[in-house]
Amino acid sequence: MNFFGIGLPEMAVIAAIGLLVFGPKRLPELGKTLGRTLKGFQSASQDFEKEFRSAMTVAEAEPAAQADAQPAAALTAVTPEVAPDPVAEEPSGDSRPI
């Protein structure tokens, strides 16, 4: 049994220390509280995972729906005119150093 990287001997030591610190009357109450807390974390984690997966499904479906809605002519790329690079041009006139 391996729970959060803790084996059975370690869990027994933790339980024994808990029994000594909290006593036999409060230990079952603390165990119930811990169990409820872990159950709450588990359900919150599952809800988050479901929400994340549904958001990813919607996000993956949107680009496909947008691509289907656009006409084929709108999807063609238009290259803009590029201005000449002023640094690459040779200066007009005399190119000798002064």
SS3 helix, strand, coil % of the chain, rounded to 5?
65, 0, 30
pLDDT: is 64 or 11 the higher one? 11
pLDDT band at 18 (very low <50, low <70, confident <90, very high): confident
pLDDT per position as a tens digit, 33-79: 988 998 999 999 999 999 999 988 888 877 766 666 655 555 555 55
**Is pLDDT above 70 for 1?**
no
Instruction: Flag the least confident range among 6-10, 29-33, 50-54.
Output: 6-10
Task: Say what the pLDDT of residue 64 is.
Answer: 66
Secondary structure of residue 50 in the 3-state scheme: helix
CA-to-CA distance for 13 and 67, rounded, in angstroms? 61
In 3D, which of 20, 15, 45, 42 has the Cα closest to residue 31?
15
CA-to-CA distance for 72 and 94, rounded, in angstroms? 52
Is the whole model's pTM more than 0.85, yes or no? no
CA-to-CA distance for 17 and 98, rounded, in angstroms? 90
DSSP 57-91: HHHHHHHHHHHHHS-GGGGS--PPPPPPPTTTSPP
